Structure 1
Amino acid sequence: MTVQESGAEPRAAGIKDVAAAAGVSLGTVSNVLNRPDRVSPATRAKVEAAMAELRFVRNESARQLRAGRSRVLAYVMLDGSNPFFTDVAAGMEDAADAGDLSLFLCNSAHQPTREAAYLGRLEQQRVQGILITPVDPDAPLLHEIARRGTPVVVVDRTPGGTTHCSVAVDDVYGGEIAVRHLIEQGHERIAFIGNHTTVGQVRDRRLGALRALSAAGLPADRLVDLTTTALTVADGRGAGERLAGLPAAIRPTAAFCANDLVALGLLQTCANLRMRVPDDLAIVGYDDIEFAAAAAVPLTSVRQPRRRLGRTAAELLLAEGEPDHEHRQVVFTPELVVRASTLR
């Protein structure tokens, strides 16, 4: 119910209205909202009944104004269309829920200007902390925001210094185990599909691929770069067409894709061109999103602990307020999940 004052428009019920309806003091209503353990069950029930009757909704903005900080965490993700990042966000939400906090999601879409705009708005809104998978993990703006008092945790990247906590996966090792597996399956010319010139994670995965070739005694030119502009299914389809157009003598017999979306696009092109997977082309993806196992040919993929990655990042952010807090750089080890796309 709204409160109708004589000659005025109806307004939302406030804490004074609840106190009057329940016949208690403002302090008692405040305790019910903030410290319910201090109120007897009978009085708490009376206040809660008044709140329900008046359809009272607490004014969180007023509470935020008094505290100088909101009960909101924010995650600025790199690519909202990639299920990897939404899985990471689900882990963050687990930690936020446990702390009675909300989680806002923002998508930079790999655009530095868009990322900076979101960071500015979030800082102005006094969010409790910012989780970010940044375009550049060493961007000066991240350091400035932290120095001004808003904690920042870098996710899926490791910054050069120790100004922030960070949570990441060892992508060099991930690339190494992916290509080592392909070499063990007998492949000696392997395509690498991704945008390694612009995305740090992809650059690390390619470095791991080169290490695997070197360890096997194979020259670096056995890794054939099919560079993409992004990491989407469409990019994978386009790379597949380029790969199929290569002369048979130099065409790779296997492909390591920078993520599962690219791998799924490549798999689609193989089906359209009647290329058999894995007989004509073996495929390894990265991330092990849910779609990987459900593909027409189940996809071998490097698994990242996506939800754990997000939860750990959020827990580090919440720990920023502890007096003895020290910044930590947490690095998880990925694992290879072998499926039909590479097993002959």
Structure 2
Amino acid sequence: MRDVADRAGVSLGTASNVLNHPERVSAAAIERVRMAIDELGFVRNANASTLASGRSGALGLVVINLSNSMFVDVARGAQAAARAAGHNLLLADSADDFGAQGDNVDSFNEARVAGLLLAPMQDSSEHVARLKARQTPVVLINYDQGDDNLCTVVVDNEQVGYLAVRHMLDIGCRRIVFAAGGDEYYQPVRLRRRGARRAMREAAGAASFEEIMADGVKEADGLTVARQIAGRGPDTRPDGIIGVSDSLASGLVEGLSEAGITVPDEIAVMGCDRNSSAGDCRVPLTSIAMKGQEMGAAAVRLLLDEMNRDGDHVHQRVVLTPELIVRGSTVLP
């Protein structure tokens, strides 16, 4: 940095301000320092800056699983918002491993990130507490921990289940199955089930409703459920099946098709989280858009507000509205 200042003919403080507080420096000084940086091939030492300030300028994002494209969308929205505010975004994938999520949180904590976005699928109070112990601002995405001292951005997962059942009723299904697994671990699954039940109560007997418990929410779990249903007689099979995730729904379509049951002619099938990773489904899958990019961007805005307001920040719970996306797995062309 001193070499840069000497080459530009400015003080060390001015050279530092060009990189850290350009609003304090004249346009002419900025131009001279930038030219010196280019001529010398200078790259700032981020570790030294972190040691000096006690915190880096980067934001962290820990997601539970990037194989679900909703979390990819969250990352895209967060990155765009962070970059617009002059921050880098560092990303870690926990690969559906809650222990790995804790390790990722600790790694970012040790790196002294300026703030952390955490997108879990189950209660992460312990991980949040470790961040707060270091006064690291944190925002939860896609999980409501019920903590008034924490900002949260979620999609209305109860409405997701409600919209799914309403769609099945609207296209004329009268024997509806809701296939789900993992609700003892995953809050979104529990909420979608609650919304589906609410829609059925409002339907007041217009259709039968059956819940099938799968082992999880993956494609293999959908295949298992499909084989169970295919073993029933035509008069006892459902005419509409809701998979709690698109991956599970994709397995349903595959399993039913293997058994010679056509989708949607004989059984309509839909998912609940618009996961493009399930895009190799042999029938275009009706699903619910989860507004991932909007969630990521909103979470960054809340995080930056908490970072910049020095105790004057008001914690918020932002709830986004899901949207039904109708495709070929429930409606014939």
For normalisation by structure 2, the TM-score amounts to 0.89
Partners of 1:138 and 1:160 within 8 A in 2: no
- Which of these residues, 278, 283, 297, is aligned with residue 311 of structure 1? 297
Task: State yes or no: 1:339 paired with 2:320.
Answer: no
The residue aligned with 2:41 is 55
Q: For the residues of structure 1 that align with 2:200 and 2:255, how far apart are their CA atoms?
A: 26
Alpha-carbon RMSD: 2.4
- Once residues 109 and 218 of structure 1 are traced to their aligned partners in structure 2, the CA distance between those partners, rounded to angstroms, is 41
Indicate the SS of the match to 2:271: strand
Contact kept? 2:57, 2:113, Cα under 8 Å: yes
Counterpart amino acid of residue 251 in structure 2: G
Q: Could you say what secondary structure the match of 2:272 adopts?
A: strand
Q: Which residue of 1 aligns with 2:184?
A: 197
Residue type of the alignment partner of 1:205 = R
Residues 1:118 and 1:37: Cα distance change in structure 2 (over 3 Å):
closer
Aligned residue number for residue 168 of structure 2: 182
Larger radius of gyration: 1
Equivalent position of 1:137 in the other structure: 123
Gaps of 5+ in 1: 1-14
- State the alpha-carbon separation in 1 of the partners of residues 24 and 139 from structure 2: 35
Partner residue in 2 for 1:9? none
CA distance in 2, matches of 1:24, 1:204: 60
Decide whether the 8 Å contact of 2:121 with 2:143 is kept in 1: no
Instruction: Provide the C-alpha distance between the structure 2 equivalents of 1:203 and 1:34, rounded to a whole number of angstroms.
Output: 46
1:57-80 C-alpha deviation (Å, 9 max, x unpaired): 011221222221111111111112
Matched with 1:80 is 66
Residue of 180, 193, 210 corresponding to 1:223: 210
Which amino acid in structure 1 is aligned with residue 143 of structure 2?
R
Give the corresponding residue for 1:240: 226
- For structure 2, which runs of at least 5 residues remain unmatched after alignment? none
Shift of 1:234: 3.3
Distance 1:293 1:48, change over 3 A: same
Poorly superposed stretches of 4+, deviation over 6 Å? 291-294
Q: Please, which of 151, 154, 157 is the counterpart of residue 165 of structure 1?
A: 151
Residue 32 (structure 1) shift: 2.9
Question: Over residues 200-238 of structure 1, what are the superposed CA-to-partner deviations in whole Å (9 max), with x where a residue is unaligned?
Answer: 101111111111222212399722314132x33333333
Tell me if structure 2 keeps the 8 A contact 1:214–1:220: no
Provide the C-alpha distance between the structure 2 equivalents of 1:23 and 1:161, rounded to a whole number of angstroms: 52
- Partners of 2:63 and 2:293 in 1: how far apart? 14
Three-state SS of the structure 2 residue aligned to 1:299 is coil
- Mark the CA change 1:128 to 1:34 in structure 2 (over 3 Å): closer, same or farther: closer
- Between the aligned partners of 1:143 and 1:219, the Cα distance in structure 2 is 47
Deviations along 1:98-157, one digit per CA (max 9) or x if unpaired, are 111111112223322222222222112111111112243352331342243011111111
> Identity percentage over the alignment?
38
Q: 1:220 & 1:273 partners in 2: Cα distance?
A: 25
Which amino acid letter does the alignment assign opposite residue 103 of structure 1? Answer: L
Contact 1:287–1:301, Cα closer than 8 Å, also in 2: yes
| Superposition map of 1:320-339 within 5 A | 320-321=306-307, 322-323=309-310, 324-339=312-327
Does the 8 Å CA contact 1:188/1:218 hold for their aligned counterparts?
Answer: no
**Please, which moves more after superposition, 162-171 or 280-289?**
280-289
Tell me how many residue pairs correspond in the alignment: 329
CA drift at 1:42: 4.9
CA distance in 1, matches of 2:162, 2:87: 39
What residue is the counterpart of 1:288 in the other structure? 274
